[in-house]
A = this chain, B = another copy of it.
Amino acid sequence: MSMSQTASTGSQMSGHHFSPEVHRSFRAFNPLKQEWIPREFKEATPEEIDAAVTLAAAAFIRYRKMPAAQRAAFLQAIADNIILLGDALLHIASDETGLPLARLRNERDRTTNQLCLFAALITEGSWVNARIDTGTPDVRQMRIPIGVICVFGASNFPLAFSVAGGDTAAALAAGCTVVCKAHPAHPNTSEMVATAIRQSAISTGMPDGVFSLIQGATHETGQQLAIHPLLAAIAFTGSFRGGKALYETATRRPTPIPVYAEMGSVNPVFFLPRILQQKGEALAGQFIQSVTLGVGQFCTNPGIFITNGPDLPHHFIESLQKHISTIPAGFMLTPGILDAYNNGIAGLQEQGAELLANTAASLSQASAALLQISAQKVLAGPSIMHEVFGPSTLHISAGNKQELYQLANTLEGQLTATIHGTEEDLREHIELVDILREKAGRLIINGFPTGVAVNHAMVHGGPWPATTPAAGTSVGTAAIGRFVRPVCFQDFPAWLLPPELQDRNPLGIWRMVNGNFSKTL
């Protein structure tokens, strides 16, 4: 089957093969044209789901034992083959998501960079966290892959958090096999990327079933996947409702499995008094950019901002109003997301928030919005500090430092928390840093939360309801830790030890030897 053939099946990809079954079908929506895209995609049947996971479990037995260099070559080939899909991929993704080509080009770069980063990580090899204690008994520990990972594609990152996105890259790098549930808003994009993975798997000699793609628009399809007994874990990026439903399903299985769900947050930004005096004007423009970037459709979008003191510079809010009114209305990813956004804004107003400014928009577009509410109202019912996914932000003005801390203390778990302040501001509000450290996975000083660097130190995660469990990250090389578990080998003869744990350290990796990091024994 050539790539051009495979790119137009609309079917499930079970390992290297496309399934011939016909069940129910669904279509994607073009937000820019406000019309359904004609091409039909087939909802996976329970049998197809079972076949894909069963194949993935069989493939795991071979894949887990492949040397890191081979897995790295596979990841690298996926990156190369995604590039080879050319602009056609970007156009199809744009049709299905309404995201502009320039943004999708960046996202494609991020996707291929992530794949290459994980290829480099496993080629270097120290990620296995090898620990050797040479006492009696001789005990040697390393991380091993856990099995079949079910990756749910995200609506808002059709490339970087979908089929060949961060979760898939981390899972394949770890030595796990993957069954991906495509997000129903961009099935064609998903299929194209899946064919690139398929091509790469074949050309680098990977076992059939190392990766499969499941299409489907119904809740049932996702649930059928989540209860499959051969799954080892689930990775999900999306709404709180969706993540929580998967979490509940997975924890109630006869054999519970972990769900690594990134469910978003309000990403509070605190603007302290002096910095607003010094450069409120400039910050206003940058902040509104962060709020409205990509029509506000980022998990790290700052949904609330909090200022301290009644002497808030008047021009700051005026400046925000001015900036937000210049933001063009935008098309959101799906009509459902637009509805939820509009309902969210209405909900904030019902709870007492005042709309200070917004963008003129047609019925099918999202209007960027600046709202305001008093700290008293928020503290009386903190449920207002929930995520409204889209280009809005809610101002809360604290009357004094104590009220500011009180607001910070009532925050739920967050992906990020940001403080803008001069050194004097920060020294005066040092307790704020302490409070926010308990609330978020990433703390930012004088920056903006949108834009997540993909490196070794990044944490994209945080306490419930931001993610589950709190102790994970879905961005950066540490994300590989979600798909492994430690195993230790006691008194193994040298020849039977994995290379990572052999005395002569044939892979040349960093290891903790009797408590010290070293490359020699």
Contact = CB atoms under 8 A, between A and B. Distances in A.
Nearest to A488: B459
B441 A487 contact: yes
B486 A459 contact: yes
A22 interface: no
A133 B457 CA distance: 6
B65 A139 contact: no
Contacts of A496: 426, 433, 445
Determine the main DSSP class of A at the interface with B: mixed
A491 B453 CA distance: 12
Contacts of A124: 515
Interface in A344-359: none
Contacts of A456: 131, 133, 141, 512, 514-515
A471 interface: yes
A63 to B, nearest CB: 13
Most buried by B among A426, A434, A496: A496
A277 interface: no
Most buried by B among A139, A461, A465, A473: A139
Contacts of A255: 464-465
A358 to B, nearest CB: 30
Interface of A: 61, 65, 124, 126, 131-133, 135, 137, 139-141, 144, 146-147, 247-248, 251, 255-256, 258, 423, 426, 433-434, 437-438, 440-447, 453, 455-459, 461, 463-465, 468-471, 473, 478, 484-493, 495-496, 510, 512, 514-517
26 contacts: A133-B455, A133-B456, A133-B457, A133-B458, A139-B455, A139-B457, A139-B458, A141-B456, A141-B458, A144-B437, A146-B471, A147-B438, A247-B251, A255-B465, A258-B469, A423-B493, A426-B493, A440-B487, A441-B485, A442-B489, A447-B491, A453-B490, A456-B515, A457-B488, A461-B485, A478-B486
Nearest to A423: B493
Given A456-B133, A456-B515, A471-B485, A492 B445 contact: yes
